[in-house]
Structure 1
């Protein structure tokens, strides 16, 4: 089966498995781990959002990692520029492959937060011998609007 690739001048460097991320936004930690067990050999990474992280905590991330799976921690860190780097370091210590930052506010504040986060994560990973995770900056989120349509 031929895969569609819309960029003929670019060569894909990674296998499909490495580009595939499955969301674990299920209501239950047990169900999420069953899905990890079923798909870990064919999926490159699993996304853990806020609800699942709050329900399972850091130990849940460690369980996924112990199963040999990669984790995208989707918590969109967004507090002050001094607090985001601390949260980012803890995500790196959990062994996640990727996490995200909410890039909102003034341009100067965003740049300060991203610069501090990158520097602190790099420093801690170097000192502690950790793999440095990828950091995504989420600049805009899609908003779901619900509106009531009345019939006249």
Structure 2
């Protein structure tokens, strides 16, 4: 893991703008997260271009399909040499096992437990009873048993998951600095709180990418850690 746990969520529609922003803040982050929006817009070419900056790449593709299809998708991104790739824990144990088996040797495969934009009302509407906390712990257990490296969860659950999975690799998105706007995040905490709870990677997007001065914003967040 990079010494700096901050991965910048670089989901900008234009590749040149994404490259320029990443270059500007590169000294104050530990890696770059490229999500579905970026990958659909720019594909392998875009990932190769961003990788030239020399920072670890986190491909946040949230793969979720039948095991054979997910394994094939994993093999198709070997050439990109991602440091981290996400799959959905709700895809089940066999899917997660096949995803890990198909991943590159140095790639961490982590399972998305519950999107940070969801709360318990949203869960109930999809037929899942109980609390968000319990659902995350259930899916963390499933990911652990499937041999994955870790999970993606909100900062509100990371301490509890870390307690039961001591050597897990925990990615925490939906972070907002103190006094930051929540936007569409319903279960946000500060980067420092997530780090103290056991987060391995802190995914931060809009608080840096939409700041008036992205470099100052990245530096300020780094200093809180």
TM-score normalised by structure 1 residue count: 0.70
Q: Secondary structure at the match of 1:22?
A: strand
Q: 2:114 aligns with which of 130, 140, 146?
A: 140
Residues 1:55 and 2:38 are matched in the alignment: no
**Displacement, 1:22?**
0.7
In the alignment, structure 1 segments of 5+ residues that lack a partner are: 1-12, 126-130, 147-152
In the alignment, structure 2 segments of 5+ residues that lack a partner are: 123-183, 185-225
Distance 2:2 2:15 in 1: 30
Distance 1:47 1:84 in 2: 20
Instruction: Output aligned runs, 1:1-152, within 5 Å.
Output: 15=3, 17=4, 19-105=5-91, 110-121=92-103, 125=104, 131-143=105-117
The number of aligned residues is 120
After superposition, the C-alpha distances for 1:30-49 in whole angstroms (9 at most, x for unaligned) are 11110121122331111111
Distance 1:21 1:142 in 2: 17
Higher Rg? 1
Distance 1:95 1:66 in 2: 12
Q: Secondary structure at the match of 1:136?
A: strand
* Conserved 8 A contact 2:32-2:57: yes
**Displacement, 1:65?**
1.3
Distance 2:41 2:2 in 1: 33
After superposition, the C-alpha distances for 1:91-139 in whole angstroms (9 at most, x for unaligned) are 232111111001215xxxx111111121222xxx4xxxxx521111012
**Displacement, 1:27?**
2.4
Distance 2:14 2:64 in 1: 26
TM-score normalised by structure 2 residue count: 0.49
* Conserved 8 A contact 1:64-1:70: no
**Displacement, 1:14?**
6.0
